[in-house]
Amino acid sequence: MNSMDTNAAPQHNAYHFSFQKLAGGQPLPLDTYKGKVLIIVNTASKCGFTPQYAGLEKLYQQYKDRGLVILGVPSNDFGKQEPGTAEEIGEFCQVNYGVTFPMTQKEVVSGKQAHPFYLWAYKELGFGSAPKWNFHKYLINRKGELVTYFFSTTSPDSSRFIKAVERELEAS
């Protein structure tokens, strides 16, 4: 694993960061989701964990009216398993998994060149918290604070994951 640069500018919450929308590339500032519970997950279309898209979409549909937002961040960092263009990724997610949750442009999520959100998350949560593979998940509370992370092997329908999401949704 590449080491992460922990000298990223100090930030107090996730709302200081912005991505770009998958479709069209317009800015997608995370402060758009203030007051929501946010799951940020790095994704890939050609990975053994790719079927997690279905579980993430199910979770999104089940809890979006209670304030859950899932943000998919395509990345080609691990095994070159996201080679597609933005259009190809969007079509793949829609056709195969009916994904309706927001998706970003493809990003680097590991190493010193990682998107600033990922550098910040690593600094906040420490060693072991950086993505080691596709479908690594960060849980962010309604205040924009990182709560925890889940490895790729944690399925979106696992009781541990769902309980953590519900706990944050119930918190005021």
The full set of domain ranges for the chain reads 14-170
The single-letter DSSP state of residue 113 is: T
| Choice among 47, 147, 162, 169 that is catalytic | 47
75-91 residue pLDDT tens: 999 999 999 999 999 99
Per the annotation, the verdict on 47 as an active-site residue is yes
Tokens standing for residue 143: 């205040």
Q: In angstroms, how far is CA 18 from the centroid of its own chain?
A: 12
**The architecture CATH gives domain 14-170:** 3-Layer(aba) Sandwich (3.40)
138-153 residue pLDDT tens: 999 999 999 999 999 9
Q: Using CB atoms within 10 A of its CB, is residue 99 exposed (0-12), middle (13-18) or buried (19+)?
A: buried
116-142 residue pLDDT tens: 999 999 999 998 899 999 999 999 999
